[in-house]
Amino acid sequence: MYKLSRYLVISDYISSNARLLYATRAGKYVVIKDSVLDLLQAGRFDEIDLKTLIPLFERGVIVPEDADEFEDILRHNKNAIRDSQALGLIIQPTANCQLGCHYCGQVHAKRNMSGRVAEATVARITSKLALKNTRH
């Protein structure tokens, strides 16, 4: 049996009786009629024809009833990190960002990276590169 994915976004109406259903895990969307959406939300999957149901499954709108999607996402992310051959780093050479985003927690000071911090940054990158089979 199936259940609705926990990771869906349902749009407002795009026509008189249809909406967009966005499956965020798969990054896919479907156009869905209200009548089908009502059945999905009521868990009445057996009343939906296979021609409609299969694409919903393929796009991650519905998932197996025993699926633990949160665990699946964690496992997927951990595997991607473990298997990654890319090293990603963000280096901020100054604390004096001029953008002033309202959510920023950084103290904006007119300070640039010191030579000591630059050397420590290079050492950290070098050690990270030595730990992983990094190609990118």
Angle at 40 between CA 35 and CA 41, to 5 degrees: 100
CB of 96 to ligand SF4, least distance (A): 9
Q: What is the CB neighbour count within 10 angstroms for residue 95?
A: 13
Residue 63, exposed/middle/buried by CB under 10 A (0-12, 13-18, 19+)?
buried
Single-letter residue type at 133: N
CB of 114 to ligand SF4, least distance (A): 18
CB of 24 to ligand SF4, least distance (A): 24
Separation CA 54–CA 62 (nearest Å): 9
**Residue 107 vs 131, nearer CB to ligand SF4:** 107
**Residue 15 vs 103, nearer CB to ligand SF4:** 103
Footprint of ligand SF4 (CB under 6 A): 97, 99-101, 104, 106
CB of 92 to ligand SF4, least distance (A): 7
**Residue 89 vs 101, nearer CB to ligand SF4:** 101
**Residue 112 vs 126, nearer CB to ligand SF4:** 112
Separation CA 57–CA 49 (nearest Å): 12
Query: 101 — phi, psi (to 5°)?
Result: -60, 140
